[in-house]
Amino acid sequence: MYSRMTEIAVGLFVAAGIGALVMLAMKVSNLGAFSDTEGYIVNARFENIGGLKVRSPVRLGGVRVGRVNAINYDQDRYEAVVEMTIADGYDRLPIDTAANIFTSGLLGEQYIGLEPGAEEEYLDSGDVIELTQSAIIIEQLIGRFLLNEAGSE
């Protein structure tokens, strides 16, 4: 009914199609770079998270080590709670590590930058980072600048 060549051609077609899907998944998307299932969870509280989003990167000295998992608002303390997953390979962060929200470039995406502290103990799953610095909101900066200008005259 159908020849050997047809079978081979169809086999190649299906293999090429699946190969294209794998290339899209691994090479084009973020699936190959970092998987969010493996790692431990750390929370941080911020006064203002600016434009931080779920899946925003977490960087340590500029190296991507994790990803923001969830963002919630704590109504009791009036603070935003950011839950992030950090890859298991980076498990020696001191407990006095600081978390800041930075912007990559002038108009780039926002990310959490971690700065390791000096304590002997390391952060564990579920721990809360106490030292945080909120995102810089450009409108506030401009407002403060204008206020200073007005005050100095």
Partner 1 sequence: MFEPIRLIGEAALRKIARLGQASLFISQVIASLPMLLRRFSLVVTQLYEVGVLSIAIIVISALAVGMVLGLQMFYTLRDFGSEQILGQVVALSLVRELGPVLAGLLFAGRAGSALTAEIGLMKATEQLSSMEMMAVDPIKRVVAPRFLAGVLSMPLLAAMFSSVGIIGGYLVGVGLLGVDSGAFWSLMQANVDFYDDILNGIIKSFVFGIIITWIAVFEGYDAKPTAEGVSRATMRTVVHSAFAVLAFDFILTALMFGGN
137 near partner 1 (CB under 8 A): no
CB of 76 to partner 1, least distance (A): 29
> x/- contact string, 70-109, with partner 1 (CB under 8 A)?
---------------------------------------x
Q: SS3 letters for the chain?
A: CCCHHHHHHHHHHHHHHHHHHHHHHHHHCCCCCCCCCCCEEEEEEECCCCCCCCCCEEEECCEEEEEEEEEEEECCCCEEEEEEEECCCCCCCECCCEEEEEECCCCCCEEEEEECCCCCCECCCCCEECEEECCCCHHHHHHHHHHHHHHHC
CB of 109 to partner 1, least distance (A): 8
28 near partner 1 (CB under 8 A): yes
Residues that bind partner 1 in the complex, under the rule CB under 8 A: 1-2, 6-7, 9-10, 12-14, 16-18, 20-21, 23-25, 27-33, 55, 57, 109
